[in-house]
Amino acid sequence: MADADKQLGVMYNAVGTLKELGYHEWRGCLAQQAYAYAWPSWILDLNENPPDNVTAKQNLHIRNAYMIIMNKTNDHVVANSLKLVKLGDAKAAFKKVHEFFQPDSQAGKTAAFSQFYRATMKTTNTNIMQWVAEVHLRANILKEAGGEANEQARLSILLDGLLPEFDRINEILNHIEGLTFETACSKLIGYARSHKIECLTKDGEQKLNGKANSFFNAQDANPPNPNNANECRLWKRGSCTYGDRCKFQHIGPGGTIPRKQRNAKREIPKPPTTPEAFMVGSTDTPVMETKCENCSGSHAMQDCPTAKVFTMDSTRNVNYVFMADDSNAGDDNNADDDSRSCMEARPSGGPSGGSPPTGCAYY
């Protein structure tokens, strides 16, 4: 009894919920636990009936199967159907879940037939390893629905549903006499590994952690919400730098740009180096965030509204300004002469060697 309780605790952690996994993956997890703990095969085999006399150990397995089935389906709508099942009847509980997703009707058979014969790697969005498992799974579903999916049918679906990247190996396999499904699977996986495309899907993505089963019908797991699509925001802005290697989806209008262009730094404009550039009104005058030494304003010295002419003494690296509001400034026509007078009157020590003459200023 203690061992059975311990096994039940392990299974609670090992098996996901029906709502989270979807029926076929959930069923696969349940089958793995049944194999690991040696459950009687008839618990999960709908075509096998239980014996008339059940042992005490088998009863513990039945109890665990019942508890795990009920626990992992209680957040799904199928839980309402399970309320009609007799307490402790694991086989009846599993049958209810199975019939919910795969109804024993003509509609159920038609759906299983269509899902098997129309499947491809592209429509299922699977890589080669997932595709192999998908074909096997869908064949079993068709069999359970009363259809036929023999060796030749599985082999045909397997090869016909490959992506174009497998055309070369596909042609070789189609010319092998007596090729079996298992042999084809082995050779396809080997080819994919040698060409590093074992995780390739229809979108060219490296799908490493995708679910092995993508099969669902109208009553299975909820279909994906298009509002939650993993879209590339940079693509919509026309500034994606990854192109075909982008891990997000490029949907609708958009564009890419070269990576170097996106990372390019803005060029900082260089300050002027010629005296002419400092003339009042020049369009090349750079914007400087400095304080005017003439009027203490927040503008640059060369933009001072009281300055009439700017000039530069390139030899001594000192600039002179003739003040427009000074009584000795003269008129506009004599601006150059006034500026020259400032330069000639400059003290030999520059700004640090004395004060500028009347009507002049240093900066």
Confidence (pLDDT) at 309: 44
- Shared-domain flag, residues 110 and 190: yes
- Shared-domain flag, residues 259 and 281: no
* Residue 269 included in any domain: no
* Residue 207 included in any domain: no
* Residue 121 included in any domain: yes
- Shared-domain flag, residues 7 and 94: yes
- Shared-domain flag, residues 118 and 91: no
Confidence (pLDDT) at 302: 59
- Shared-domain flag, residues 111 and 94: no
Tokens of 302: 């060369």
Spatial distance between the Cα atoms of 346 and 335, rounded to a whole number of angstroms: 17
Which residue range forms the structural domain that includes residue 255? 230-263
85-110 confidence digits (pLDDT tens) = 999 999 999 999 998 988 878 888 88
Among 101, 117, 147, the domain-final residue is 101
Confidence (pLDDT) at 350: 46
SS3 113: helix
* Residue 150 included in any domain: yes
* Residue 172 included in any domain: yes
Count structural domains, the chain.
4
DSSP state of 249: B
Is the torsion defined by CA of 197, 201, 206, 208 positive or negative?
A: negative
Spatial distance between the Cα atoms of 61 and 36, rounded to a whole number of angstroms: 12
Confidence (pLDDT) at 245: 78
- Shared-domain flag, residues 290 and 307: yes
* Residue 24 included in any domain: yes
Question: Is pTM beyond 0.85 here?
Answer: no
* Residue 208 included in any domain: no
- Shared-domain flag, residues 253 and 323: no
Helices (H), the chain: 2-14, 18-21, 23-36, 56-71, 79-82, 90-101, 106-117, 121-124, 128-144, 151-160, 167-173, 181-194, 233-236, 259-263, 335-344
Spatial distance between the Cα atoms of 157 and 117, rounded to a whole number of angstroms: 7
Confidence (pLDDT) at 55: 92
* Residue 71 included in any domain: yes
Among 239, 263, 287, the domain-final residue is 263
Which residue ranges of the chain lie beneath pLDDT 50?
207-229, 265-289, 308-341, 343-353, 362-363
- Shared-domain flag, residues 321 and 340: yes
